[in-house]
């Protein structure tokens, strides 16, 4: 049982969750039909605000900017 505890502890964050250095999003991806581009949304867990993205590159740019502390255009 101690092995499971050690493995669980390894997965826990070193710092408390929350604050300026923490972002949590529920990310959804979908296609409107098999040949269409993937669309995405990111819903902020803290505020419930949802941002829509026309493609995965825009989602990745948004997440990258969030972790770099920069703002990006959130319109798809």
pTM, two decimal places: 0.66
- Average pLDDT of the residues in 1-19: 52
- What is the residue whose two structure tokens read 């920069």? 70
- Under a CB-based contact definition with an 8 Å cutoff, are residues 9 and 26 in contact? no
Ranges of each domain in the chain: 23-76
Tell me the C-alpha distance between 66 and 12, whole Å.
Answer: 22
Confidence of residue 13 (pLDDT cuts 50, 70, 90): low
Q: What is the DSSP letter of 44?
A: E
pLDDT of residue 63: 92
pLDDT digits (tens, 9 = 90+) for 17-71: 566 678 899 999 999 999 999 999 999 998 999 999 999 999 999 999 888 865 5
């Amino acid at each position: 049982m101690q092995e499971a505890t050690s493995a669980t502890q390894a997965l826990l964050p070193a710092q408390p969750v929350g604050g300026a250095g923490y972002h949590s999003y529920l990310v959804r991806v979908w296609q409107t039909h098999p040949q269409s581009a993937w669309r995405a949304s990111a819903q902020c867990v803290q505020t419930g605000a949802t941002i829509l993205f026309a493609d995965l590159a825009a989602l990745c740019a948004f997440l990258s900017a969030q972790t770099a502390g920069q703002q990006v255009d959130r319109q798809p």
